[in-house]
Amino acid sequence: MIMSKIKEAVKRYLERHGCTSMQCRAALIDMDGVLYDSMPHHAEAWYRTIAPLGIACTREDFFLLEGSTRTRTINMFFNREYGHDAPEEVSLALYEEKVRQVRALGEASRRPAADKMIASLLAHDVRTVLVTGSSQGTLLELLDTDYPRAFNMPYRITGEDVKHGKPSPEPYLMGLQRAGVESHEAIVIENAPLGVQAGVAAGVFTVAVNTGPISATALYDAGADIVFDSMPHFAEHVDELIEVINTIGL
């Protein structure tokens, strides 16, 4: 069942890109929601920042906006409520408050089975590259402890490295460049619609792992080539995915 789903997804990708074959030489991996269960904290922190302003919002709104920049996130709510962007000084103050709230919520835990996924990728000689919009020092420091040797420099792209965040393809194009591979020689591993859009716009086969409260449909609508319903589910089938990618042709 899962095997035929994987084969169909890879064939569809090849057809769409006019390729006869592909290779999995690199995996470009998102951090929040994929490697760490940090999204509930981010969503809660945003909610505690925006809701007291009297702006209508839900925690789920922030899951859907995951990966978006500060400006874009805050302006979306200002425009919805007031019909204009937030003044820059207001935006900066709100972001400061959001960061304070995230810190108050404490450390996010490592996502179960994410280490198994990384081990499978490395066992297949797939170069792992971190591609996150986050510049959050605490999680970035934890990476070396939690995922040793997986994301050594220069294989780490953060919010500091890019001009345009997801859904722009820029972070993933930079990831391809760092890994020294073409778009049909990599996979993107994402959990959020905007991140999926970024991976697809970079021309990369994009795997969505649904680790939050949003529907699989939202991830397919964003363009995901295949959606797994949890990290343990994906970790269990990552070997098969790599084998299919490396052997199937049109």
Please report how close the Cβ of residue 23 comes to Mg ion at its closest, in angstroms: 25
The yes or no reply on residue 37 touching Mg ion (CB under 5 A) is no
Site residue total, Mg ion (CB under 5 A): 5
Please report how close the Cβ of residue 133 comes to Mg ion at its closest, in angstroms: 8
Query: How far, rounded to the nearest angstrom, does the alpha carbon of residue 48 sit from its chain's CA centroid?
Result: 23
* CA pair distance 186, 198, nearest whole angstrom: 14
**What DSSP element (H or E) covers 194?**
helix 193-201
In degrees rounded to 5, what are phi and psi of residue 54?
A: 85, 10
Please report how close the Cβ of residue 208 comes to Mg ion at its closest, in angstroms: 10
The yes or no reply on residue 30 touching Mg ion (CB under 5 A) is yes
Q: Which residue type does 156 have?
A: R
* CA pair distance 10, 1, nearest whole angstrom: 15
The yes or no reply on residue 192 touching Mg ion (CB under 5 A) is yes
Q: β-pairing, 26-29 with 127-131?
A: parallel
* CA pair distance 177, 195, nearest whole angstrom: 18
Choice between 35 and 176, CB closer to Mg ion = 35
Point out which span in 21-29, 30-38, 107-115, 173-181 binds Mg ion (CB under 5 A): 30-38
Q: β-pairing, 127-131 with 205-209?
A: unpaired
Supply 55's token pair.
């702006």
Among 24, 33, 77, 131, binds Mg ion (CB under 5 A): 33
Supply 192's token pair.
């959020």
Q: Which residues, 72 to 91, sit near Mg ion by CB under 5 A?
A: none
Choice between 14 and 39, CB closer to Mg ion = 39
Instruction: Return the beta strands (E) in the chain as ranges.
Output: 26-29, 127-131, 156-157, 186-190, 205-209, 226-228
Q: Which residues, 88 to 127, sit near Mg ion by CB under 5 A?
A: none
Site string for Mg ion, 138-177 (x = CB under 5 A): ----------------------------------------
Point out which span in 11-19, 143-151, 165-173, 190-198 binds Mg ion (CB under 5 A): 190-198
Choice between 30 and 185, CB closer to Mg ion = 30
The yes or no reply on residue 32 touching Mg ion (CB under 5 A) is yes
The yes or no reply on residue 199 touching Mg ion (CB under 5 A) is no
* CA pair distance 221, 219, nearest whole angstrom: 5
The yes or no reply on residue 191 touching Mg ion (CB under 5 A) is yes
The yes or no reply on residue 185 touching Mg ion (CB under 5 A) is no
Residues that bind Mg ion (CB under 5 A): 30, 32-33, 191-192
